[in-house]
Structure 1
Amino acid sequence: MMHKLIALATFASIGMSQLAVAAHGYAQFGDLKYPPNFTHFDYVSLDAKKGGSIRLSNPTRSTTFDTFNPYSSGTAAPGVSSLMFETLLEPSADEPASAYGLLAEDVTVAADQRSVTFRIRPEARFSNGDRVQAADVKYSFEKLTGKGADSSTREFFKDLNAAEVVDSRTIRFQFRIPSTELPLIAGTIPVFSKKWRAGEASRGGNLAPPITTGPYRIAAHDHGDHVVYVRDPDYWGRNLPVRVGTFNFDRIEYRLFSSEQDRLLAIHSGEIDLTVEYQSDIWRSGYTGKALQSGRLIKQEFPVQSIARTQGFVFNSRKTLFKDLRVRKAITLAFDFDALNRENFNGIYRRTTSWFPNSELAANPNARRNSTTTPRLFDGNHAKALAEARKLLAQAGWRIRDGVLRNDQGEPFSFEFVDAGAATNTSIKKFSEDLAKLGIEVRRRDISPEAHRQRLWEFDFDMCVMVFANSEAPGTELRGMFGSIAAGTPGSSNYSGLASSEVDELIDSLVQAKTRTSQIELARALDRKVMDQWLIVPFGYKSQHWVAFDQKLGHPSSIPPNSSPQGWVIEHWWNRGTGVTGASL
C-alpha cells in the first residue's frame, strides 16, 4: 500500500487564503502534469493487447497465505491488494507527488489545509454490483484505523482525525494538523464494501473473497500452491483515463515456490511466464540453456529511474549488545562490502550511504542520481576500517582476550542472525568472516518465512536482513520506520528500535513541508540524522531491474520512474499470443 503514497495537484496556492476549488486531481507541490481532459498516462502503451494470461512466481519470500485481507496481520495472497482493492485517487508514475481521480471524480482541499473532500463517481461499483457510497469509504477507514487493525496501517493514517459522510457520494476527512500531504494519504485509503466483514479477518485465517471495486476477481486458489485472478468483465472503471492501457491480462496466476531452485526451474520449463530476479549470482549464471538459446525465454535489464530501495543488515538496538552507537558503527565499518561486491558480484552494486539512495533527497551528494562518484562509508582501505572499528569497540568496553572479544565481565561478543532462505548466504558468510577478525561470533539461524515474519513482528531478533521501499515524496510512512511510537509497537517497520525526539520532530516537519524545496532539505536533514545512528549495515543498489520472461509477453519501452518492476508487469505488460481469453468467474 505504501507505494500508493504519492500525491495530487493543488488547486489553491499554498499559504493563500482563498476558496478551495474541486479538481480532477491533487499535487502536493506545484501543478499537475495532466490536464482535466487527459485521456491516458504517457507511460502506458495504447497498442497493448487485451486478453491472454500471465503466470508469475512468489513476489515475496512467503510460500503460503492465509487471508485475502492485505491489511490484516495474516499473510495475504500475492496480488490481492493491487488487483482487487482501489482507492479514491490513483498516483501518477511519472510525477513525484501527484494523483488523479479513480473512485473519486473530484477532490477539494480546504484553504486552511485541515480537510479534504472527495466526490465519488456515480458509476463506481463493487464486485457485487452495489454502488460505492461515502458510507463504504467511512467504514473502510474506520476498520483500517480502529481497534484490532494492523498497527502499521493505523499509524500510517493516524493524522486523519475523522471521516464525515456529507451525502451519499461525498466524504470529507478532517486532519489533526494542517498538511499538504494528508490529502494524498486520504486518497490512498483502500475502499471495500460494508458487506465484506473485514474486521473479522484482521488476524488472517479468513479466505472469504473481498467485496471490492478492482478490475480482477478471485477464480481459484490453494493456500499452499497458487492463486488465480481473472478480469471482471463488468469492471466499472475500464475506460477511465487512469485505467486506459492498464491491467491487460484476462488471467493472472501466482504460483508459490518453496525454493529459489524450484522457481528457476519453473521459468526455464515454461511453468511460469516471468520472474523478477534480485540475486546477482542467479542472474549471472542461472539463466542459460535451451529456453534462452531458442528465444522462447528472454533475459532483459531495464534501467532503474527511481529512488533505490535501502537494504542491509539491521541492528535491533533494543538489545543491550547494540545499544551503544560506537558498537554499531564498528560493526558497520568492519564489513568489507567493496570486496564482496568486487569478488562475488562483478562490481554491479553501488554502495548505499544514504537512506534515500539514487535520489535528490540523499544528504550525501555522491549518493544522488547520476553521480559519477562511488560513495564510501570509510575513506580508506579495509585495514584502516578494522583499526577504527577496534578503537571504537575498546571505547565501548570491548577488548580481545584469548582471541575472543569480551566485555569487562568476560562475556563474549556473540549474536544471532535470523534469516529465511538462501538469498543472502554469500553476504552473511562474508560479514561473519569480517567480524571474526574483531573476535565477534555471528550465529546464523535459518527459519521458515512464516516464523521469520513472526520474529520480526515481535522484534525477537538480534540482527536481520531487511529491504525498505522508498518514496520520492517521503512523509507519514517514515513514522513507521523511525518514529518513537512505532519503536514500541509490535508489527511496525521500525525494526531498528530507533526512538529519538529529534527524529520525530524532523519527520513531523517533513510531513508538514509546504514546498518541494523544503521537503528535499528536510529529507536530507533526516537522512543525515538517521545514517549517523548507524542502525543498518548497508548493502548496495543496482542500476537495472532484472527480468526474465517468455517471448509471448509484450511491454512498454521503459519502466516509469515511480513504479516497482512487479507492479509495472501486472499493470502495463500484455500477452501477444492468444493464451487464455474470455476468462470468467
Structure 2
Amino acid sequence: MRRPETPERARLMTRIPIASRLTSLFTFLALLASPSFLSANDTVPDSSDPEVQPVHGLAMHGAPKYPEGFSHFDYINPDAPKGGALKMAVVANGFDSFNPFDIRGVAAAGISNYVYDTLLEYSADEAFSMYGLIAESVETPENRSFVVFNLREEARFQDGEPITAEDVAFSFETLTTKGHPFYRNYYADVSKVTVENPLRIRFDFQQTSNRELPLILGQMPILPAHYWESREFGENGLTPPVGSGAYRIGSFEAGRSIVYERMDDYWAKDLAVRKGRFNFDRIRYDYYTDDTVALEAFKAGNFDFRIESSAKNWATAYIGDKFDNGTIIKEAIEHHRPTGMQGFIFNTRKEVFSDPRVREALTYGFDFEWTNKNLFYGQYARTNSYFENSELASTGLPSGRELEILEKYRAQLDPEIFTEPFKAPSTDGKQGLRKNLRTAIDLLRSAGYEVRDGKMIHSETGKPLKFEILLFQKTFERVVLPFKNNLARLGIDVSVRLVDSNQYVQRVREFDFDMITQSIGQSDSPGNEQREYWHSSTADINGSRNYAGVSDPVVGELVSLVIQAPDREELVQRTRALDRVLLSGHYVVPHWFLAKDRVAYWSYLKHPEKPPKNGTDLDNWWAEP
C-alpha cells in the first residue's frame, strides 16, 4: 500500500524509485504480460451481478469506518479557511522533470500529490480503507476477482475536459508500459481492462487471492489521454502537465523552485474526502543543497514548516527568542504508524556480502547505545523489526498461528528462528563493544576469514574484507565514521563515499553500491509492495526497492501469503512470520526509530487538534487569516 508523501528529507527518499527487478527476462515477460483491453465500442460481457452492489468505500478487511454520506474525515477541520501560502524547503540538487511517473529524471517535489487525483482517496485513520474520489462508487465481489469503478460525471481535468473511463484505461496502459517499472509489478495481476461505458470501467484479475488489488488500483493517478496523444510520455521534461488535482503548476525556476497554485474551480473541493484539505492558495518549494543552510533559512522566515530528521538539531538548534515567544512553534507530534526499517543495507548481489554470516558479523560493529547517547541525545529506540511500532512486528519466540506458518519451512530456515528471539546487538554491560567484536570475529572465522597482518582476509581466496558505504548527506558521516572505525579494529577496510543527491539516486537505481543507509517504509496493511522489497522477481530490475537483492524462496512464499491474507488476524500472523525470516537473513544493520514527528513551524500555520494515527499531514493544515 502506498503511504502519503512526506515533506523535507523524506521527499528525496520517495523520489528514489519504488520499482521492481526480476531475476530473468523471461520471468519478467511472463509475469508482466500486457492485459487485454476492450473499449466501449467492442462487445463486452455483462458485468452486472445482483450480489455485487456499488459501495462508497472499500476496506482491505471488514467494513470501512466511514458510512455512506459521511461529511468529512474525523482528523481534519472541515471549517479550515482557504488562503495564504505555504513555503517549503527541499534539500536536494534540484529537479529536471514534471513527470513523477517515469524512471528518468528527478521529478519536482509535490507534483504527484498536488497535480494528480486518483480514483479513490486513502483514509489516514484506518489500516487500509479508501473512499470515492474520481470514482463515485466501487463494485467488487466477495472474492475480489474483479473491480468496477463508476466515475463521477462532474470529474474534470484542469483544462475542463471530463474524466472518462477511456482516460482510466489510458492511464493504466501508459503507466504499466511506459511508466516506472514499479507500476508493472504493482498491477501485474490485472488480466483484462474493459471500458463498459464512458463512466464505467472494469478490471479483471488473474487470481482471486489478492484482496488488495481493487484498493491499489484505486490509488492509480489518472492522466488525460487527450493531452498525451500528441506528446511522448517519457520526454515531457519541464513542460507543465495537465492533471486533475487541486493544484496546477504556477511559476518555477528550473531545478531551484516551484510554485503550485490552488484551483478555485477544483471540481472535487466539496467532496467529503476533500473537505478541510488542500487549504493553501499557493505552495512553494525552494531547493537547498545543504541542510544546515536550509535550517537557518527556516529560522529566518524564508519558509514556514520543517520536519526535523536530526536529533542533534532538535536538541540544540531550535532555540532563541522566536521559539521562546511562540513566533516559531516546536512540536513533537505522536504517531502510531509502523516506522519500518532504517539501517545500513547490504547489497547481497556483491560477493563480499553473499554470506549471511559476514552480514551478521558486521551488525556487531554498530554501537547503537553509544550513537544514541553521544549523537542523538537519547531520543531514539533500537529497531528490532521491519514493521516496528506496530502489531505486525514479530516479538519473542514464534507461537500459535505464526509458529504454524513457519513450521512448513523449518528445514529451510535458520534453527535459531525457533529457539532465539531476535534482538539487535547491544553494547550495554561491562564488556560492551569489545564483547560484540569478539562475536563478530567468531562469525567471520566460521565464514572462512582470518586476520593476517592486521587485515581480515578470506583464507581461501586471499581477498581482504573491504567495502564502501555510499552517502548523499554529509551529516550522516558522524554516524558512519564510528561504525567504520569499529570495523577497522577487526581489520575490515571500509571507505565512505559522499556523492550529490542526483548521483546517489542513479547509483541506487542501478544497485551500484556495496552498502547504503536507507529507510524501508511500511504501512498498517502490507500487501503488494512487499514484492518490491523482498521478492526474488524484483531482485534484478533497475529501480527496485529490493535494495538488498533478497532472493529467498521462503521469503517469496511468505510475501505471497501476506498478499493473500483473507482477514486482519491472518495478515498480522503472516506478516510476523515474514518479519522473522527477514531478520534472520541479516540484510540490514538495524538503526533506530522514533514514534513522533518532530516538526517546527511559524505560528500562523495551524493544524487540527487531533492528528490522524499516521501522523503529520500538511494537506490538513491551514494559514491563519
TM beyond 0.5: yes
Over 3 Å counting, the alpha-carbon distance change for 1:161 and 1:288 in structure 2 is same
In 2, the alpha carbon distance for the partners of 1:471 and 1:363 equals 15
| Count of residue pairs the alignment pairs up | 552
Residue of structure 1 in register with 2:207 after alignment: 177
Root-mean-square deviation (CA, aligned residues, Å) is: 2.0
Counterpart residue identity of residue 2, structure 1? R
State how 1:381-392 maps to structure 2 within 5 Å: 381-392=432-443
In 1, the alpha carbon distance for the partners of 2:186 and 2:580 equals 23
Residue of structure 1 in register with 2:581 after alignment: 529
Residue of structure 1 in register with 2:158 after alignment: 127
Counterpart residue identity of residue 448, structure 2? G
Over 3 Å counting, the alpha-carbon distance change for 1:435 and 1:277 in structure 2 is same
Task: Find the residue that maps to 1:424 and give its secondary structure.
Answer: helix
Residue of structure 2 in register with 1:115 after alignment: 146
Residue of structure 1 in register with 2:197 after alignment: 167
CA contact (8 A) 2:93 2:500 kept: no
In 2, the alpha carbon distance for the partners of 1:165 and 1:81 equals 25
Q: Cα offset for 1:558?
A: 3.8
Task: Find the residue that maps to 2:313 and give its secondary structure.
Answer: helix
Counterpart residue identity of residue 298, structure 2? I
1:140 counterpart = 2:171: yes
TM-score (norm 1): 0.91
1:303 counterpart = 2:341: no
Q: Cα offset for 1:149?
A: 2.4
1:402 counterpart = 2:453: yes
Counterpart residue identity of residue 404, structure 1? K
Residue of structure 2 in register with 1:35 after alignment: 67
In 1, the alpha carbon distance for the partners of 2:196 and 2:4 equals 25
Q: Considering Cα pairs closer than 8 Å and 6+ residues apart, tell me whether 1 or 2 has the greater RCO.
A: 2
In 2, the alpha carbon distance for the partners of 1:420 and 1:142 equals 35
Residue of structure 2 in register with 1:3 after alignment: 3
In 2, the alpha carbon distance for the partners of 1:83 and 1:68 equals 12
Counterpart residue identity of residue 451, structure 2? I
CA contact (8 A) 1:193 1:211 kept: yes
Q: What stretches of structure 1 move > 4 A for 4+ residues in a row?
A: 198-205
Counterpart residue identity of residue 534, structure 2? F
Task: Find the residue that maps to 1:195 and give its secondary structure.
Answer: helix
Q: Cα offset for 1:365?
A: 5.6
Which residue of 127, 130, 135 corresponds with 1:104? Answer: 135
1:343 counterpart = 2:374: yes
Residue of structure 2 in register with 1:44 after alignment: 76
Task: Find the residue that maps to 1:472 and give its secondary structure.
Answer: coil
Residue of structure 1 in register with 2:296 after alignment: 265
TM-score (norm 2): 0.85
1:274 counterpart = 2:321: no
Q: Cα offset for 1:121?
A: 0.4
Residue of structure 2 in register with 1:93 after alignment: 124
Percent identical residues: 37
Counterpart residue identity of residue 424, structure 2? L
Task: Find the residue that maps to 2:543 and give its secondary structure.
Answer: coil
1:393 counterpart = 2:440: no
State how 1:146-225 maps to structure 2 within 5 Å: 146=177, 148-178=178-208, 179-197=210-228, 203=234, 206-225=237-256
Q: Cα offset for 1:205?
A: 6.0
Q: Cα offset for 1:304?
A: 2.1
In 1, the alpha carbon distance for the partners of 2:251 and 2:239 equals 12
In 1, the alpha carbon distance for the partners of 2:355 and 2:501 equals 30
Counterpart residue identity of residue 379, structure 2? I
Task: Find the residue that maps to 1:31 and give its secondary structure.
Answer: coil
Q: Cα offset for 1:309?
A: 3.2
CA contact (8 A) 1:302 1:545 kept: yes
Name whichever of 241-250 and 304-313 sits farther off. 304-313
Task: Find the residue that maps to 1:347 and give its secondary structure.
Answer: coil
Residue of structure 1 in register with 2:89 after alignment: 57
Q: Cα offset for 1:293?
A: 3.5
Counterpart residue identity of residue 172, structure 1? R
* 1:9-67, Cα deviation, whole Å (9 max, x unpaired): xxxxxxxx981111001111111111101100000012322111110011xx5321111
CA contact (8 A) 1:87 1:102 kept: yes
Q: Cα offset for 1:78?
A: 0.5
CA contact (8 A) 1:143 1:199 kept: no
* 1:419-463, Cα deviation, whole Å (9 max, x unpaired): 102231111012112211211111011111000001001100000
Q: Cα offset for 1:102?
A: 0.5
1:442 counterpart = 2:472: no
Over 3 Å counting, the alpha-carbon distance change for 1:43 and 1:341 in structure 2 is same
In 1, the alpha carbon distance for the partners of 2:340 and 2:51 equals 40
Over 3 Å counting, the alpha-carbon distance change for 1:520 and 1:33 in structure 2 is same
In 1, the alpha carbon distance for the partners of 2:191 and 2:87 equals 42
Q: Cα offset for 1:314?
A: 0.4
Residue of structure 1 in register with 2:36 after alignment: none
* 1:506-529, Cα deviation, whole Å (9 max, x unpaired): 111111111101111110011011
Counterpart residue identity of residue 54, structure 2? A
1:251 counterpart = 2:303: no
In 2, the alpha carbon distance for the partners of 1:279 and 1:202 equals 38
CA contact (8 A) 1:310 1:355 kept: yes
Over 3 Å counting, the alpha-carbon distance change for 1:199 and 1:459 in structure 2 is farther
Q: Cα offset for 1:201?
A: 5.8
Over 3 Å counting, the alpha-carbon distance change for 1:91 and 1:276 in structure 2 is same
Which residue of 378, 387, 410 corresponds with 2:425? Answer: 378
Which residue of 515, 521, 540 corresponds with 1:469? Answer: 521
Residue of structure 2 in register with 1:573 after alignment: 621
Residue of structure 2 in register with 1:369 after alignment: none
